[in-house]
Structure formats: C-alpha cells, structure tokens
Structure 1
C-alpha cells in the first residue's frame, strides 16, 4: 500500500514539474524545474528497477543538459540586456 502511495506521489510530482517547466515564463526557473524533473525521472527509473537508465537520466538529463541550458540562459540574459541598452541609445 505504501509503495502505491509513493508511486502515485512520484507520478503527480512528475506531472507538476513537467507542466511547471513548460508554462514558466522565467527561463531560469524553467531550467531549474526541468532539472528537478530529471531527478524525479531518475527516481522513477529506479522504482521501475532500471538502475542503468536511472544513472544515465541523472547524469545526462538532470546534470549535463541542465548545466548546458543554464549556460545558454545566462548568455541569453546578457544578450537581452545589450539589446535593451542599444534600443535605449537609439531612442
């Protein structure tokens, strides 16, 4: 019974983080929620008795992809500030 409750909470958490990542207007928040989704997905793979896939999901899905997306967001943030400054200079 407790296992079903844990699995149900895991599914609910996966759905909530997926929707939150998709609907977030703040890019940084969306990437952080996406990384949390990757960690939860790794836990789901462990619950499905697939530890090899869980390790790959944690390392690639939450780790490497998350870091690369955070780097991209930081570059987008500095680029958008430069564009705003240029627009302000023209006006």
Structure 2
C-alpha cells in the first residue's frame, strides 16, 4: 500500500509539471482533470472519502467543464 501511495504522488508531480509545460490549453485541462482524479484516489486511500468525493466532483468535474467552456470561447493554443 505504501508503494502505491508513492507511485501516485510521483504521478501527481509529473502531471503538475506537464500542465505547466503544455502549450495546448485543452491538453492542459485534460492533464489537470487526470491530476484531480488521481488526487481523489489518493484521498480515498488515505481514508478520507468525503474529501475524495469533493475532489472528484469539483476538481475533476465542475472545474474541467468550466475550463473547457472558457477554451471553447477563446483560442486553444497558447501564444
């Protein structure tokens, strides 16, 4: 179980760096949604189901939909 936690934290760090480095805004939103879902799984493994559900609903759900809505009204690629 400890190894799984370490792997998930390393994956979270990689996702955070990938979001910062990505020039395609839609790609960054997809990576950010993945980050939120993995964070929800990590909260679940840490026995905090209420925080995990909130992270999954708000972080991966609502925020992603809002970001995609904004990107659809603006340009997809960063200048």
TM-score normalized by the length of structure 1: 0.80
CA deviations on 1:10-60 (whole Å, 9 max, x unpaired) are 011110111111111110000000000000110111011100000000000
For the pair shown, the structure with the greater C-alpha radius of gyration is 1
Show the counterpart of 1:54.
52
Which residues of structure 2 form unaligned runs of 5+?
none
1:84 aligns to what?
none
Bigger proportion of residues as helix: 1
Distance 1:17 1:62 in 2: 14
Q: Say which structure, 1 or 2, has more relative contact order (CA 8 Å, 6+ apart).
A: 2
Say which SS state the counterpart of residue 74 (structure 2) adopts.
helix
TM-score, structure 2 normalization: 0.91
What is aligned with 1:7? 5
